[in-house]
Amino acid sequence: MSNKWVYTFGNGAAEGRADMRNLLGGKGANLAEMNLVGLPVPAGFTVTTEVCTYYYDNNQTYPADLMEQVEAGIKHIENIMGKKFADMDNPLLVSVRSGARVSMPGMMDTVLNLGLNDETVKALAKSSNNERFAYDSYRRFIMMFSDVVLGADIDLFEHTLEKMKEDKGYKVDTELTADDLKELVEQFKEIGVKIGKVFPQDPWEQLKLGIGAVFGSWMSKKAITYRKINNIPGDWGTAVNVQAMVFGNSGDDSATGVCFSRDPATGENKYYGEYLINAQGEDVVAGIRTPQPMSKDDSGRVSLEESMPEVYKDLCDVREKLEKHYKDMQDMEFTIEHGKLWMLQCRNGKRTAAAAVRMAVEMVDEGLLTKEEAILRVGADQLNHLLHPMLDPKADKKVIATGLPASPGAAVGQAVFNAEDAEKWASEGKKVMLIRVETSPEDIAGMNAAQGVITARGGMTSHAAVVARGMGTPCVSGSPDIKIDYESKTLKTTSGAVIHEGDWVSIDGARGEIIEGAVPTVSVEMTGNFGTLMKWVDEIKTLTVKANAETPKDAKQAREFGAEGIGLARTEHMFFDPSRIQDMREMILADDVEGRRAALAKLLPYQKADFVELFKIMDGLPVTIRLIDPPLHEFLPHTEEDIAALAAHIGKSVEFVKQRSEALKEQNPMLGHRGCRLAITYPEICEMQTRAILSAALECKNAGVIVHPEIEVPLVGSKKEVDIVKAVIDATAESLFAETGARVDYTVGSMIELPRAALLANEIAESCEFFEFGTNDLTQTTLGMSRDDTGKILDEYRARGVYVADPFASVDQLGVGLLIKDAVAKARATKGDKIHLGVCGEHGGDPDSIEFFHKCGFNSVSCSPFRVPIARLAAAQAAVKFPRN
């Protein structure tokens, strides 16, 4: 049995359908569907993606029966269009275009006007009664075929064209006469002979080579790179669409255009697009002539609505039919040939985040979509662009350097070159931009005070990038174009720009741009359509979405963004404040219990006050507070100056500080004396923190605030560890309650962030009322790679064909998903629904991971405040796709 390699369409019939995009590619499937919808589409056929796969599996050869089917396809076109391929009287010309499953704009090849040669061009001139048009088409064909199929240097042709215009004193191509174009064709042919790339006169040979060139372009360097960036598998292949040419360049009653059924920038329900009279598609894209608007406006340019009212009406019908049919905004290409409309392409149009939200909501109002469908229409990650202020798109910008788009959003501030200055200037009410070679944990407060952060070094997973994203602070990291000199407090770019301390700088964190001066920003609206969409989201989702937050600022932001509690308050972050760090350091350096207790007593009021704030902001909602987690030496000073200041603060010698710091050093601190191990070896730390949490809860409760404190033990690897720490927590609670004569409910649970904890989840669950999966540590400890290292070696590995987890890839793809699924099953086997299961690592804000957590049966996810709306939307999308019973 022979395979079907070719699917025809035309005249209101088609062998394919919209849902056959895997086989026919996006363009082929939609060309078929447009026929079925009854739209005017030039007849054609699609060579399937399977031929592309065959071509590459078989040494770049075609299936034996392919050309037979192609010939039948051409016959099909001839019958419908009433023209004949390679005919000397009324020749059929075709376009040969690529079309993969997903659009890869500009990545693959196209040949237009195929079928022209020295004889058919004369026939075309005669049949069209337009010699100029025929030779214009011919010279375009020779250029394109030589470039795309034969690999000739296109510049040779362009120069020849430009030179002729210059010699004749013409400004634009349309001034070239028929005789000029004839001469140009001769010159083009001479170039072909000179460089040994002569195009074949036989139209069938042209067709075969044209199809081969499109398949060949699937493996072009730029297509491969594009696929890599966009995660498109190489074995999908492309289809090839062969379609009768219709000519927008056949006179002033002809035109070509591109349009959207709604405004792709704002989402407004109005016909949006551009057209050019007497032109072919590439003229619109190339931007040589200024296109005119589709609908009447005040631009002063003549709209299609005015110049061709009949065709405009037809296009309005098309727009309505397609929107009703696809229930989505369409991006369309059309050609008008002697006053007749032909549709060449339609697809779901790309749109900005704001447009996506507006269209989704309005389409529900219009009865086109259900709420569930509307929710699926907005990309969860796309929302990110809506949550941060943007640089005013209308403002002038002088981009002086670019780096990685590490944290989205726009920021404008005065340059400062260290974290202390950032804090100081900010406390004086200034807006600052923190500029560092790279950042470290000590810079946190400065980063928090800054509008934005620029670093010369570091990748998308560097400290600056991760922390900035967590804070919602825009950041451009790893810019190779800049040199930072701390001494002179200057940033110099390779292009010669210099930024001094105090100079205004702007960044666009979503594009990775560093811009001179203060560019005006426009802020986002949380109300209106966005508010409506998010209301539906909350009705539909089943996962609770909480936030990772410990500062009042973040907690407030989280609530504004709809967080349903705090899933992780990292208490150690509360000690980085300059007014507290010295007491923290004193506690760490103490060489006995008494010393530690004395220092802890100083820290207790700070912690308590922080928790009071959090409970108040989260009135009525759960707040999970984690006991101190990181290795203690992370808090210690490094510079001589800081060491001396600390020694003075605690009344000890510099030598003492240095010796104790040295003694605390560990071979591998990330896996050393940290997490619950601190609470086990120094129970007094746990006692202080428990006291701070519960006395804050009692105080708030007395004041009428509804509190749900949850105390969390980090980095556990066994039930025994939880039991030891829980005993300290419970004993401290009981003595506090006895002292105050009041009680407050609290729960105790643990982080699951080591593979061992996941494997022993059934046992650990016995001692816990909740689990929070710490996917940051779990990913790193499962893969055996730190976050930063993963980022650095990622590309190296991928280049060698090894799939290595991106720390921001969905956990489902990491293999970490296996551990998580297993741990969830184990925890549920022990406790059923009596244990609350949440996720609070970065994956808690990652849409793909959220879908996975939803399917696993988690109760909640928690993420940084700025990702809360994204997580809510992703949770609702997961609930629509995978309903829980």
Tell me: does residue 629 bind ligand PEP (CB under 6 A). Answer: yes
Q: Closest approach of Cβ 847 to ligand PEP, in Å?
A: 17
Cα–Cα distances in angstroms (integers) from residue 166 to residues 154, 170, 173, in the given order: 18, 6, 11
**Residue 311 or 751 having the CB closest to ligand PEP:** 751
Report the partner that residue 570 touches, choosing among ligand PEP, Mg ion, none (CB closer than 5 to 8 A by kind): ligand PEP
Give the DSSP H/E element, type plus range, for residue 506: strand 504-508
- Which range, of 450-458, 697-705, 772-780, 811-819, touches ligand PEP by CB under 6 A? 772-780
Q: Closest approach of Cβ 302 to ligand PEP, in Å?
A: 60
Cα dihedral 93, 97, 101, 106 in deg (nearest 10): -150
Whether residue 876 contacts residue 375, with contact meaning beta carbons closer than 8 Å, is answered with yes
- Tell me, yes or no, if 388 is annotated catalytic: no
Name the DSSP letter for residue 770: E
- Tell me, yes or no, if 856 is annotated catalytic: no
- Which range, of 49-57, 677-685, 774-782, 865-873, touches Mg ion by CB under 5 A? 774-782
Q: Closest approach of Cβ 434 to ligand PEP, in Å?
A: 22
Amino acid at 537: V
Site residues (CB under 6 A) for ligand PEP, limited to 788-847: 840-841
Contacts of 246 (CB under 8 A, 6+ apart): 42, 335, 337, 342, 344
Inter-axis angle of helices 309-326 and 21-37, nearest 10: 130
Q: Closest approach of Cβ 813 to ligand PEP, in Å?
A: 17
Question: At CA 221, angle to CA 217 and CA 223, rounded to 5?
Answer: 55
Tell me: does residue 293 bind Mg ion (CB under 5 A). Answer: no
Q: Closest approach of Cβ 801 to ligand PEP, in Å?
A: 29
**Residue 54 or 853 having the CB closest to ligand PEP:** 853
Tell me: does residue 776 bind ligand PEP (CB under 6 A). Answer: yes
For the chain, the straight-line distance linking the first and the last C-alpha, in angstroms and rounded, comes to: 46
Tell me: does residue 753 bind ligand PEP (CB under 6 A). Answer: yes
**Residue 570 or 616 having the CB closest to ligand PEP:** 570
**Count of residues of this chain found to bind Mg ion when the rule CB under 5 A is applied:** 3
**Residue 345 or 775 having the CB closest to ligand PEP:** 775
Tell me: does residue 131 bind Mg ion (CB under 5 A). Answer: no
**Residue 628 or 694 having the CB closest to Mg ion:** 628
Strands 452-455 vs 432-436: parallel, antiparallel or unpaired: parallel
Q: Closest approach of Cβ 776 to Mg ion, in Å?
A: 5
Cα–Cα distances in angstroms (integers) from residue 729 to residues 274, 603, 737, 772, in the given order: 69, 18, 12, 18
Tell me: does residue 677 bind ligand PEP (CB under 6 A). Answer: no
Give the DSSP H/E element, type plus range, for residue 511: none
d(CA 848, CA 856): 13
**Residue 351 or 867 having the CB closest to Mg ion:** 867
For ligand PEP, the nearest residue by Cβ is 774
Applying CB under 5 A, which of residues 774, 807, 817, 847 lies at the interface with Mg ion?
774
* Nearest one of 467, 465, 470 to 455, comparing CA atoms: 465
State the DSSP string of 501-563. Answer: TT-EEEEETTTTEEEES---EEPPPSSHHHHHHHHHHHHH--SEEEEE--SHHHHHHHHHTT-
Site residues (CB under 5 A) for Mg ion, limited to 728-757: 753
Q: Closest approach of Cβ 586 to ligand PEP, in Å?
A: 23
Catalytic pick among 52, 840, 856, 863? 840
Extract the tokens encoding 437.
């070679």
Q: Closest approach of Cβ 777 to Mg ion, in Å?
A: 4
Applying CB under 6 A, which of residues 570, 580, 652, 743 lies at the interface with ligand PEP?
570
Q: Closest approach of Cβ 865 to ligand PEP, in Å?
A: 15
Place of tokens 């696993």: 856
**Residue 565 or 630 having the CB closest to Mg ion:** 630
SS3 486: coil
CA 694 to chain centre: 41
State the DSSP string of 9-62. Answer: EETTEES--GGGHHHHHHHHHHHHHHHHHT-----EEEE-HHHHHHHHHTTS--
Residues in the chain, total: 885
Task: Specify whether the backbone of 45 is left (phi greater than 0), alpha (psi in -120 to 50) or beta.
Answer: beta
Applying CB under 6 A, which of residues 774, 807, 817, 845 lies at the interface with ligand PEP?
774
* Nearest one of 772, 879, 866 to 381, comparing CA atoms: 866
Name the DSSP letter for residue 705: -
Catalytic pick among 463, 573, 633, 843? 463
d(CA 619, CA 707): 6
**Residue 482 or 584 having the CB closest to ligand PEP:** 584
**Count of residues of this chain found to bind ligand PEP when the rule CB under 6 A is applied:** 10
- Which range, of 377-385, 391-399, 470-478, 771-779, touches ligand PEP by CB under 6 A? 771-779
Cα dihedral 556, 560, 565, 571 in deg (nearest 10): -30
- Which range, of 32-40, 480-488, 513-521, 773-781, touches ligand PEP by CB under 6 A? 773-781
Applying CB under 5 A, which of residues 173, 777, 812, 842 lies at the interface with Mg ion?
777
Applying CB under 6 A, which of residues 117, 330, 461, 775 lies at the interface with ligand PEP?
775
d(CA 100, CA 108): 9
d(CA 556, CA 553): 5
**Residue 328 or 710 having the CB closest to ligand PEP:** 710
- Which range, of 224-232, 263-271, 637-645, 769-777, touches ligand PEP by CB under 6 A? 769-777
Q: Closest approach of Cβ 858 to ligand PEP, in Å?
A: 14
Active site residues: 463, 840
* Residues engaged in binding ligand PEP (CB under 6 A): 568, 570, 629, 753, 774-777, 840-841
* Residues engaged in binding Mg ion (CB under 5 A): 753, 774, 777
